[in-house]
Amino acid sequence: MLSVSCTSCHTRFDDDGTYYALCPACGGVLDVDVTAERLRAVDPAVLRTAAPEGIDHYRDLLPLGGPFPWPSLGEGNTPLVHAERLAEAFGIDDLWLKNEGQNPTGSFKDRPIAVAVAKAIECGARALVTSSSGNAGASLAAYAARAGVPAWVLVPERTPSQNVGQIALHGARVVKVRGDVGEVFNLGLEIARAFAWTNVSTTFLSPFPTEGNKTVAYELARQRAWTSPEWILVPVGAGPLPYGILKGFRELHELGMVASLPRMVAVQAEGCAPIVRAYQQRRPVEAWGAPQTVAKGIADPLRGYEHDGELVIDMVRRSGGTAIAVDDDEIMSAARLLARAEGVLAEPTGAVAVAGAKALQRRGLVRPGDHVVAVVTGSGLKHVEGLSADAADPPTIDPTLERFVAAVEA
């Protein structure tokens, strides 16, 4: 029998068909238990093969009951790109990009949402709701469409129209809310309670979506011939992605499939860095006043769920990693460099870990020969106008060679 346990009071609950949110005993964050018995049931051959058909390939390590058709869209199986030019520019010996922008809806959120939607259906959900800065909402809209379940998505008022359009096209009901990500999140909790809808938000609100993030670790280990990189950098708002990646590597370690564990680096934007601030000052996490950054996906003040930040700090420390902040200029130049030097188009938030790799190197933390993986969490296709003035206003010419030459010279 699957079970979940509270990370605060350690009470254990059977996985009895409840779509668990926070701990029913103390309100702490729940985590799915990985028992020796569960690991014994895993077929290593499954982990050794790629999963282009979607992450239900890793079902033995995900919190789903018996045979059950997943609403899969081929999520996961994303490329690991060797970034030799970026490595040279940053002075790092070996740098790789896990390009999560290649997921079906353009971000890593397809992994946690695929698990959340499948689990919610297994638990008998009537309707799904999430609060989102854009990408999780797009994922929910697509997976709910695939599953044939109604979905509501709450986004902050200033969410880019490309994100809102993507969500609406999949048939989800999208509502813009005057407030930041934290206020939107807290409204989502209230709505789910009032209408008995299942809240599939991808913070640490529920233990289930985080499990989908473990699949990044299974893929990375396979793509790196069963070795762990020394460093994995991840953009962090609430932080379940690096938490899930380390959990996945721990499972592989217990299964004897990797010999060591990576150091995790949580990268935040200077304009919204509640976790980095608490980490550096060795103080409890406090909500961030007014988030102000181009990295909208991680502009999360953690207001009302500061404990998410404590979990991330604990995870980072246990892994021997660190938490760092990068400013908007560093984020935008990382996004442009990624596009020009490596051909990888990332949204600003998606490039945060790359900016973080440069900052990590500058602090002297990357040793010669260290393998570094930056997780590029979201595609730039939804954000091209914000990324480049050239994209917004390219020259327009008459169809003659002279005009073309003139445009090139200009």
Ligand X SMILES: Cc1ncc(COP(=O)(O)O)c(C=O)c1O
Name residues contacting ligand X, limited to 101-130 (CB under 6 A).
Answer: 107
Which window, 22-30, 147-155, 244-252, 346-354, contacts ligand X (CB under 6 A)?
346-354
Residue of the chain from 32, 125, 136, 164 that contacts ligand X (CB under 6 A): 136
Q: Of the two residues 71 and 274, which places its CB atom closer to ligand X in the complex? A: 274
Name residues contacting ligand X, limited to 359-398 (CB under 6 A).
Answer: 377-378
- The yes or no reply on residue 135 touching ligand X (CB under 6 A) is yes
Q: Of the two residues 47 and 344, which places its CB atom closer to ligand X in the complex? A: 344
Residue of the chain from 28, 54, 229, 240 that contacts ligand X (CB under 6 A): 240
Q: Tokens 């789903």, residue? A: 64
Which 3-state string (H, E, C) describes the chain? CCEEEECCCCCEEECCCCCCCCCCCCCCCEEECCCHHHHHCCCHHHHHCCCCCCHHHHHHHCCCCCCCCCCCCCCCCCCEEECHHHHHHHCCCEEEEEEHHHCCCCECCHHHHHHHHHHHHHCCCCCEEEECCCHHHHHHHHHHHHHCCCEEEEEECCCCHHHHHHHHHCCCEEEEECCCHHHHHHHHHHHHHHHCCEECCCCCCCHHHHHHHHHHHHHHHHHCCCCCCCEEEEECCCCHHHHHHHHHHHHHHHCCCCCCCCEEEEEEECCECHHHHHHHHCCCCCCCCCCCCCCHHHCCCCCCCCHHHHHHHHHHHHHCCEEEEECHHHHHHHHHHHHHHHCCCECCHHHHHHHHHHHHHHCCCCCCCCEEEEEECEEHHHCHHHHCHHHHCCCCCCCCHHHHHHHHHC
298 in Cβ contact with 378 (< 8 Å): no
Q: Of the two residues 47 and 325, which places its CB atom closer to ligand X in the complex? A: 325
Sheet containing 263-269: which strands, arranged edge to edge? 80-82, 94-99, 371-376, 231-235, 263-269, 322-326
Which window, 142-150, 183-191, 238-246, 286-294, contacts ligand X (CB under 6 A)?
238-246
Nearest-approach distance from CB 234 to ligand X, in angstroms: 8
The pattern of x and - marking residues 69 through 108 that bind ligand X according to CB under 6 A reads --------------------------------------x-
- The yes or no reply on residue 239 touching ligand X (CB under 6 A) is yes
Q: Of the two residues 105 and 361, which places its CB atom closer to ligand X in the complex? A: 105
The pattern of x and - marking residues 272 through 311 that bind ligand X according to CB under 6 A reads -------------------------xx-x-----------
Q: Of the two residues 61 and 375, which places its CB atom closer to ligand X in the complex? A: 375
Name residues contacting ligand X, limited to 181-200 (CB under 6 A).
Answer: none
- The yes or no reply on residue 155 touching ligand X (CB under 6 A) is no
- The yes or no reply on residue 166 touching ligand X (CB under 6 A) is no
Nearest-approach distance from CB 51 to ligand X, in angstroms: 22
Residue of the chain from 51, 86, 241, 273 that contacts ligand X (CB under 6 A): 241
Which window, 216-224, 345-353, 363-371, 381-389, contacts ligand X (CB under 6 A)?
345-353
Q: Of the two residues 47 and 279, which places its CB atom closer to ligand X in the complex? A: 279
Which window, 51-59, 162-170, 232-240, 316-324, contacts ligand X (CB under 6 A)?
232-240
Q: Which residues contribute to the site for ligand X (CB under 6 A)?
A: 107, 133, 135-136, 202, 235-241, 297-298, 300, 347, 349-350, 377-378
